[in-house]
């Protein structure tokens, strides 16, 4: 498993909670209260500082009427190819790409309806 895939796995629970909150227009505080969790725990999960157990994640998602469905699939090497490409970029090129992605993510969080930026 390459760095990109590992990063996706490490951020999966936090990304799922963030999406669930945004879809239901609730704050971390409101989600924590509905799930009977500490608000700090929700914040830690969303930031990637804490990894919840699968039952914990499913319990939190259920608090906003969401369920987690898991499906097994063959390993996709797509991210491994991207990792190899990323390793050939200079530090400045990598920083530029990260800045573009961060800007796009910020616009999405603000509810903007945009096309993804072209990465050069």
How open is the CA angle 80-84-86, to the nearest 5 degrees?
110
The reply to whether 119 falls in a domain is no
pLDDT at 89 over 80: no
Q: What is the phi/psi pair of residue 48, to 5°?
A: 90, 0
Q: How many Å apart are CA 17 and CA 59, to the nearest integer?
A: 11
Specify the pLDDT at position 109: 78
Q: How many Å apart are CA 120 and CA 117, to the nearest integer?
A: 9
pLDDT at 112 over 90: no
| Same domain? 64 vs 15 | yes
| 58-87 residue pLDDT tens | 999 999 999 999 888 777 766 666 666 666
| 7-18 residue pLDDT tens | 666 788 999 999
Mean pLDDT of 38-44: 96
Q: What is the largest CA-CA distance in the chain?
A: 46
Going by pLDDT thresholds of 50, 70 and 90, the confidence category of residue 93 is confident
The reply to whether 51 falls in a domain is yes
Q: How many Å apart are CA 18 and CA 11, to the nearest integer?
A: 11
Contact 63, 29 (CB under 8 A): no
Instruction: Give me the number of domains the chain comprises.
Output: 2
Residues of the domain holding 80: 72-113
| Same domain? 16 vs 42 | yes
How far, CA to CA in Å, does 41 sit from each of 13, 32, 54, 75? 12, 8, 15, 31
| Same domain? 50 vs 86 | no
Percentage of residues in the chain having pLDDT higher than 90: 46
């Amino acid at each position: 498993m390459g760095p990109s895939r590992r990063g996706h796995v490490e951020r999966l629970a936090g990304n799922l909670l963030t999406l669930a909150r945004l879809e239901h227009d609730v704050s971390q505080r409101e989600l924590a209260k509905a799930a009977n969790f500490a608000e700090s725990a929700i914040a830690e999960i969303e930031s990637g500082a804490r990894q919840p157990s699968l039952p914990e994640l499913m319990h939190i998602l259920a608090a906003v009427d969401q369920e987690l469905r898991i499906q097994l699939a063959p390993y996709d090497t797509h991210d491994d190819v991207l990792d190899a490409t990323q390793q050939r970029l200079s530090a400045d090129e990598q920083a530029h790409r990260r800045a573009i992605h961060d800007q796009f993510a910020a616009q999405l969080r603000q509810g903007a309806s945009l096309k993804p930026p072209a990465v050069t």
